[in-house]
Structure 1
C-alpha cells in the first residue's frame, strides 16, 4: 500500500491551518507529521504529551468524537533563524494557541512545542503619562 503524501508546512503559519484541516478530517497520522519526533503538546486537561507516540494517542482520543474545529486568527510568526513562534487567537476570543516551530532540512516546518489552550488576557491600556513632566 502506498504511503499517503500530505502537504508540508512551507511557512510556520501553515501549521495552524494544517492542524485544523487534519483535525476535521480525523487524520491522526497527518497531525503527528506536523510535529518533530520529540515534540511536546500541552493538552486541555493539563496532561503533557511528549514524543510522537503520546501525541498520536492524544489526537486519537480527541478526534474520536469527530468534533468540528474552526481556525483562529493567525498572528504573523516571529522568526529567529530556524525557529519560529506562532500563535492564533481562538474563535470567540476565548483563548489563544502558542507554538514553537523549527525549520526542517527540507525547508518545511514542524512544531516542537505546542500550547493550544493558552488563556487570552486582554487588559485596558495603561494611561499615558508624560515622563518629561
Structure 2
C-alpha cells in the first residue's frame, strides 16, 4: 500500500496544481494520487468518472507511462469558503478550463475532492 502521507502536503489550495505538474512530469502516479482525498471523484477519462484515490493512482500510472509533459498554467483566482476552495486554470489553448474543488484537511493541508480536468465553454 502506498504511503500517501510521506509526500509534501499542499498548504495552500494553489499548491495542488504546482505539485501535480511536478509529480506528473516525474512520472510519479502515487505522488499525483496523494493530492486527492481517499474518496475523491475525477471526471476523467472524458465521459467517465474515476472514483477513489487508488483508482486515480491506477489511472495516472497508465497516463504517465506514456511520459507526457505538463506545463505550469497560471491559476485563476481561488474562491475559498469555510474550508472548501474552488481552484481553476485555463488550458494553454485558451478554450474551456480546468477546475477542482479542494478541502482543507484537519492538519491544515488541502486535498482535491472533485476534479474536472477539462471542460469546454458552450459554443454559441
Q: What is the TM-score with the length of structure 2 in the denominator?
A: 0.89
SS of 2:93 mapped into structure 1: helix
Unaligned runs of 5+ residues in structure 1 are: 124-133
Q: Does 1:53 align with 2:46?
A: no
In structure 2, runs of 5+ residues without a counterpart are: none
> In angstroms, what is the RMSD of aligned CA positions?
2.1
Structure-to-structure mapping, 1:39-78, within 5 angstroms: 39-78=40-79
Find the aligned partners of 1:3 and 1:36 in 2 and give their Cα distance.
10
Query: Per the alignment, in what secondary structure is the counterpart of residue 92 of structure 1?
Result: coil
Question: 2:100 maps to which residue?
Answer: 99
TM-score w.r.t. structure 1 length? 0.83
Q: Point out the more displaced range, 15-24 or 3-12.
A: 3-12
Instruction: Flag the 1:30–1:3 CA change in 2: closer, same or farther, 3 A.
Output: closer
Q: CA separation in 2, counterparts of 1:61 and 1:48?
A: 15
Q: Is the 8 A contact 2:4 2:31 kept in 1?
A: no
Mapped to 2, the partners of 1:119 and 1:103 lie a distance apart of: 28
Query: Structure 1 9/3 Cα, relative in aligned 2: closer, same or farther at 3 Å?
Result: closer
